[in-house]
Amino acid sequence: MADAPSSISSRKGVPAAQAPGNPVRDVRGPIKRLYSSVRDGRGFDIVLVAFPLGFLFLMAGLPLLYNVLMSFQEVDMFSLGTLMRPFVGLKNYRDLFAQPETLPILANTAIFVAGSIAGQFLIGFGLALFFWVNFPGASWLRGLFLVSWVMPGLVVGAIWNWILSGDFGVLNFVLREGGVISGNIFWRSDPNYSLYAVILANIWLGTAFNMILLSVGLSAIPADLYEAAELDGANAWQRFWTITLPMMRSTIGAIIALGLIFTLQQFDLFAAITSGGPNNSSNVTQYWAWEQSFRQYDFAKGATISVLMIIFVMIASVVYVRSTRHEVRG
């Protein structure tokens, strides 16, 4: 026991007698040192970060890689339990693009994304500008709008499914009374309208979130800019174009990128309103990928679509991270 300290320090190449500074460290065994580092040093941080990152790697990183692997394999119900299934190269990708429904579904996805983002952003921006004029109760009422965002997607979908109902839907009633339409629109079962039915519900769902984030951006613009512009004789319209919009540029970029990310995650509304039908007229890639895997049990195809979409989503998220980077770093 007596020469344990010297043996440790000589292993480190420092003679025990000359150990400078902190001789206490040399007396401890390696286990003890590890323990004290975890309790009171760098080790504490490493332990705190290692478990969550390990968990995320296992449960999100590995599935991502597994997805890529499966997209190059032939997967059916019999080979589901094995890892090394027959490789087919790019066959899954070629088959995917040979299918007649692929291009229409990609086009639907583009329309869904563009329509949802445009609607959410424009209405959200309008509301944010309105609530920016401070009046009693403004912030409370503004927050109330967020209920659309905290509700389960399935419930939102169920409510809109009923509102959009063809014969008895209240939206058709309002549009008829307002003289916008003469006959009922069968939102969910008419292939010309089914995609727009989901877009409508999605705009409602996402507008509040856009508005809240835009409000935060607006309140960060220094008020003296407006005072100066007003003194110079700029009217409200000019102030909006020359101060508000340029000052909001990075916020707007981040919000549109976030909108893209959230819109591509939207699944529940499709499940609750149209199920992608009729005849794929309202189908989008994120719903289609799930359908392939869990309705057709074609996991390879589901994985193939997923890989393509995930690459796309990642590009969007790089844009998002870049436009918020200085804030993320604090």
Partner 1 sequence: MTETNRNRLMLLIALVMAAIYLFPLYWMYITALKSGSEMFATPPTFWPSVPQWSTYAFVWESRGMGRYLWNSLVIASGAVVLITVLGVGCAYVLARYRNGWVDVGLFLILMLQVLPASLMITPIFVGFSQLGMLDYPRLAVIIAIAAKSMPFFVVLVRATFMAVPMELEEAALVDGNSRVGAFFHIVLPLARNGILVSAILIFMQAFGEFVYSKSIIQDIELQPASVGLNSFMGPNTNEWNNIMAYATIYVTPILAIFVLLQRRIVSGLTSGAIK
Q: Which of residues 199-218 bind partner 1 (CB under 8 A)?
A: 204, 207-208, 212-213, 216-217
Segment near partner 1 (CB under 8 A); pick from 15-23, 90-98, 104-112, 124-132: 124-132
Residue 80 near partner 1 by CB under 8 A: yes
To partner 1, the closest distance from the beta carbon of 235 in angstroms equals 18
Residue 64 Cα to chain centre, angstroms: 16
To partner 1, the closest distance from the beta carbon of 237 in angstroms equals 20
Among 87, 97, 162, 241, binds partner 1 (CB under 8 A): 162
Q: Can you say whether the dihedral through the CA atoms of 33, 39, 45, 50 is positive or negative?
A: positive
Q: Which is nearer to partner 1, 48 or 103 (CB)?
A: 48
d(CA 127, CA 54): 42
Residue 181 near partner 1 by CB under 8 A: no
Within 13 Å of residue 242, how many CA atoms lie on the same side as its CB? 13
Among 155, 180, 181, 245, binds partner 1 (CB under 8 A): 155
Which of 240-245's residues contact partners 24+ apart within 8 Å by CB, and which partners? 244/129, 244/218
To partner 1, the closest distance from the beta carbon of 275 in angstroms equals 8
Among 160, 186, 187, 193, binds partner 1 (CB under 8 A): 160
Residue 60 near partner 1 by CB under 8 A: yes
Q: Which is nearer to partner 1, 14 or 321 (CB)?
A: 321
Residue 150 near partner 1 by CB under 8 A: yes
Tally of residues, the chain: 330
Cis preceding-peptide flag for 15 (omega within 30 of 0): no
Residue 158 near partner 1 by CB under 8 A: yes
Residue 173 near partner 1 by CB under 8 A: yes
Residue 64 near partner 1 by CB under 8 A: yes
Residue 128 near partner 1 by CB under 8 A: no
Residue 41 near partner 1 by CB under 8 A: yes
Per DSSP, the three-state class of 207 is: helix
Among 89, 235, 246, 329, binds partner 1 (CB under 8 A): 329
Residue 35 near partner 1 by CB under 8 A: no
Spell out the residues 6+ positions from residue 289 whose beta carbon is closer than 8 angstroms to its own: 302, 305, 306, 309
d(CA 98, CA 102): 8
Residue 107 near partner 1 by CB under 8 A: no
Through-space distance between the first and last CA atoms of the chain, rounded to whole angstroms: 51
| Encoded amino acid at 179, one letter | G
Of the candidates 306, 309, 308, 302, the residue with the CA atom closest to the CA atom of residue 76: 302
Residue 116 near partner 1 by CB under 8 A: no
Q: CA 225 → CA 45, 221, 229, 230, 240, distances in Å?
A: 43, 8, 6, 9, 11
Among 4, 34, 48, 181, binds partner 1 (CB under 8 A): 48
CB contact at 8 A, 166 and 187: yes
Q: Which is nearer to partner 1, 168 or 237 (CB)?
A: 168
